[in-house]
A = this chain, B = another copy of it.
Amino acid sequence: MSTLLLFSRSFFLASNGRRQLSNVGFIGLGNMGGHMAKNLIKKGYKLTVFDVNGAAVSSLVEAGANGASSAAEASKNADVVISMLPSNQHVLDCYFGEKGVLSSVKKDVLLVDSSTIDPSISEQVSTAAKKIGARFVDAPVSGGVNAASAATLTLMVGGSKTDFEDAERVLVAVGSRVIHCGKVGAGQATKLCNNMLLGISMIGTAEAFILGERLGLDPKILASVINTSSGRCWSSELYNPVPGVLDNAPSTNGYQGGFGTALMTKDLGLAQAAASRTETPSPLGSIAYQIYRTAMGHGHSKLDFSVVYQFLKGKQ
């Protein structure tokens, strides 16, 4: 019986007295999730993985994971469950579905949702998790596919201090910055606020550079002034939408790679939904959303969102 106790204790606590977090259920093996799962395996975590796409599961099994046939199965014996899914509805299905995460997890499991979704959904999952004794943090990421592959993502985490600290121990395997943003939902809220400002700044940058060119300015000189003045922003300095200003920006590479217009549009839509729900005015956020949405209708969905520069400039 003491053996059992010992075993039971070691089940939750590693030898250094901390909770054991080595068994990870991972759900959602797309462009981002696939890389994150592989990085966890590389760092020694034992993964059980699920995706509706069987091929994605197979690929992870080859990399050393156990395959599961449902979210429930992937989560059953996990110390930590990480989900990386494309939308509110996918997250709801993943956690609340018949074979969903909440149907199978053990008490005290740490649930980490890295999807980018409405913060109110995070709160909803958290509330349900708490009822069955599970813990929840939202942990959306930024950095894109390259950062996912290189394990250099930024993770914005919402949850209690303890839950954040436990999540952090695992998430350093997939990212280089793990930030505690506040209570459950705060990770999502922070990401939406950041990306809304990014989406606005990028269009602002595009407009400023189009106007500058039409007025006869050299975009490189304009960039050098703006980047040392009050117009300075990440979009102008590190991700300039004018081809040729920065060698390694997507704009210089035909707007390939980077952060797709469809994804930016999705994030701005989430921000607007959150603004609506909280009765928050957001005129530029809303019109920025409409501009990316219209650009999508003109064939730019899969190109980097800085292609809004070309969309506004028109065909000449």
Contact = CB atoms under 8 A, between A and B. Distances in A.
Contacts of A315: 297-299
A124 interface: no
Nearest to A204: B200
A316 interface: yes
A286 B289 contact: yes
Interface string A177-193: 10101110110011011
Nearest to A212: B193
The size class of the interface chain A forms with chain B is 35 or more
A73 to B, nearest CB: 30
Interface string A220-231: 011001101111
Given A284-B288, A298-B298, A215 B189 contact: yes
B194 A284 contact: no
A280 interface: yes
Total copies of the chain: 4
A217 B298 CA distance: 23
A80 interface: no
A194 B297 contact: no
Nearest to A298: B314
A293 B186 CA distance: 24
Contacts of A7: none
B281 A290 contact: yes
Contact of A204 (B274, B278, B285, B298): B285
Interface of A: 119, 142, 154, 156, 177, 179, 181-183, 185-186, 189-190, 192-198, 200-201, 203-205, 207-212, 214-218, 221-222, 225-226, 228-236, 239, 269, 271-276, 278-291, 293-294, 296-299, 311-316
23 contacts: A181-B222, A181-B225, A186-B216, A189-B211, A190-B225, A193-B222, A194-B229, A197-B236, A204-B284, A207-B282, A208-B285, A214-B279, A214-B280, A230-B235, A231-B234, A232-B233, A272-B272, A280-B293, A281-B294, A283-B312, A287-B287, A294-B312, A297-B316
